[in-house]
Amino acid sequence: MPTSKNIIPAQAAHTEAILQITVDAGMFQVEEIGALREILEGFHAAPDGNGQHLVVAVDASDNPDNQTPTGAAYFGPNHMSDNAWDLWMIAVPPERQGQGIGCALVAHAESVIQQAGGRLLIIETNSTEQYEKTRKFYAQRGYAQVGCIPDFYGNGEDKVIFCKRLFHASTLLRD
């Protein structure tokens, strides 16, 4: 199972591999990848990432020089809230799913967010059958479905919203 040491900040050189992972995972069609490319390029163009985090999982345990991504996550603070964060993307190629990569990426994101004082993590996904496994994945990690916007992505494609309250040391000390 991957550990936090297998999660590293994504570099611009990882962009093509991240795009391919999202296509392989069925998140985007090839013709839709341009919008994600622009987002990733914008992230790398910002000196501090605008507080956002783009990380990749790598198989460093097999070969320390191997920096080929086996999964990716993109998350950041919601600046219109009091320490709520959004997980915009998590992707693992189908042949690598079930190996703990997604779990390691989510755990890493939660840890970063907690260390930054984040208190909520919001995740949005699709209601279609294609995303059933994704919705189960979030539920198994303690995320509650808190909302649904009918027909958001298209007719019959609802936006499903998950949320998890995160606790950090300062919260625990007050309780």
At 120-160, the pLDDT tens digits run 999 999 999 999 999 999 999 999 999 999 999 999 999 99
What is the residue range of 88's domain? 4-174
By the 8 A CB rule, do 31 and 19 touch?
no
At 71-106, the pLDDT tens digits run 999 999 999 999 999 999 999 999 999 999 999 999
At 12-45, the pLDDT tens digits run 999 999 999 999 998 887 788 999 999 999 999 9
Q: What is the DSSP letter of 149?
A: E
CATH number of domain containing 119 = 3.40.630.30
By the 8 A CB rule, do 47 and 1 touch?
no
pTM for the complete prediction? 0.89
pLDDT over threshold 60, residue 63? no
Distance (Å, whole) CA 161 – CA 19: 23
Pairing state between β 144-154 and 120-126: unpaired
Number of domains in the chain: 1
